[in-house]
């Protein structure tokens, strides 16, 4: 797969990325780990390798990003909104392969419909011990998707960037543990934690961010029982 924008019509290469995604694609090569998170992978090499697929596309509501909501019955991360992804399996040829495999398993995303744009620096999630590599991708041939296993994925959504950028849909999340970070609410999804942190950075580097009230605080909603 191409690692970035390709040639135009008649060039023999892949079609160029849409203009609205080009700014993020250009910025991807210079993004460092500390640009994404203050938590970097442990120097001793510990941590469980994993990957997430941040896949952008032209959706019904314009430029959009693919998100899923985990089932409320899960033991870990119940009801949370996330990018498709998970831990690397022994058979995975690196983070890109793992991210594409997980997206196929979780939401039925055809890897052949996706063009990988960049593999971003890995970051660390202290609470779970995962070392996560974000994979930036362009879903150039959208097709129907659905939750692969209802016991794991409750909902799949293609969320317009315009909604995520709307200052009315942005706030700062506070957690009883002391965690404070960016939050979004769009398409009925409450996005916080690791996923919201990455979205916040992508909105910034993609040039889609609008000024928003960082003093506006919200706590976590209660996850309904199934």
Q: DSSP states of the chain as a string?
A: --SS----TTSSSPPPPPHHHHHHHHHHTT--HHHH-S----TT--SEEEEEEEEEEEETTEEEEEEEEE-TT-SSSTT-EE-SEEEPPTT--SHHHHHHHHHHHHH---GGGEEEEEEPPPEEETTTTEEEEEEEEEE-S------S-TTTEEEEEEEEHHHHH-GGGEEEEE-TTS-EEEEEEETTEEE-HHHHHHHHHHHHHTT------TT-EEEPPPPPP-
In-domain check, residue 85: yes
Q: What pLDDT, in 10s, does the model give residues 96-118?
A: 999 999 999 999 999 999 999 99
pLDDT of residue 13: 67
CB 156 within 8 A of CB 146: yes
| pLDDT tens for the 226 residues of the chain, in order | 333 334 444 445 678 999 999 999 999 999 999 999 999 999 999 999 999 999 999 999 999 999 999 886 555 555 689 999 999 999 999 999 999 999 999 999 999 999 999 999 999 999 889 999 999 999 999 999 998 777 788 899 999 999 999 999 999 999 887 789 999 999 999 999 999 999 999 999 999 999 999 999 998 876 544 3
Q: Residues 96-120, buried b or exposed e (16+ Cβ, 10 A)?
A: bbbbbbbbbebbebebebbbbbbbb
Per the domain annotation, does 120 fall within a domain? Answer: yes
**Domain contains 40:** yes
| Residue numbers of the domain that contains 140 | 19-161
| Domain contains 52 | yes
The answer to whether 116 and 146 are in contact (CB under 8 A) is no
**152-169, pLDDT tens digit by residue?**
888 999 999 999 999 999
Q: What's the token pair of residue 208?
A: 């889609």
Place of tokens 């993004």: 31
24 within domain boundaries = yes
Domain count, the chain: 1
Q: How far apart are CA 45 and CA 174, in angstroms?
A: 30
State the helix-helix crossing angle for 19-28 and 193-205, rounded to 10 degrees.
110
Please state whether the predicted TM-score (pTM) of the whole model is above 0.95: no
Q: What pLDDT score was predicted for residue 111?
A: 97
Residue 211 lies in a domain: no
CATH of the domain at 48: 3.90.79.10
pLDDT at position 194: 93
11, part of any domain: no
Is 99 among the domain residues? Answer: yes
């Amino acid at each position: 797969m191409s690692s970035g924008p390709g040639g135009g019509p008649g060039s023999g290469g892949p079609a160029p990325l849409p203009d609205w995604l080009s700014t993020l694609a250009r910025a991807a090569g210079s993004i460092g780990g500390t640009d994404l998170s203050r938590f970097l992978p442990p120097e001793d090499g510990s941590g469980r390798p994993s990957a997430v697929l941040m896949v952008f596309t032209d959706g019904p509501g314009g430029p959009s990003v693919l998100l899923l909501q985990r089932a409320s019955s899960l033991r870990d991360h119940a009801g949370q909104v996330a990018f498709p992804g998970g831990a690397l399996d022994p058979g995975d040829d690196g983070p890109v392969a793992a991210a594409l495999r997980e997206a196929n398993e979780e939401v039925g995303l055809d890897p052949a419909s996706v063009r990988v744009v960049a593999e971003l620096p890995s970051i660390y999630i202290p609470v779970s011990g995962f070392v996560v590599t974000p994979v930036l991708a362009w879903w150039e041939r959208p097709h129907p998707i659905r939750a692969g296993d209802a016991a794991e994925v409750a909902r799949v959504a293609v969320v317009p960037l315009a909604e995520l950028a709307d200052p009315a849909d942005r706030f700062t999340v506070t957690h009883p543990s002391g965690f404070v970070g960016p939050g979004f609410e769009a398409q009925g999804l409450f996005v916080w934690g690791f996923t919201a942190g990455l979205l916040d950075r992508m909105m910034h580097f993609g040039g889609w961010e609008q000024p928003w009230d960082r003093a506006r605080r919200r706590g976590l909603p209660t996850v309904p029982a199934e």
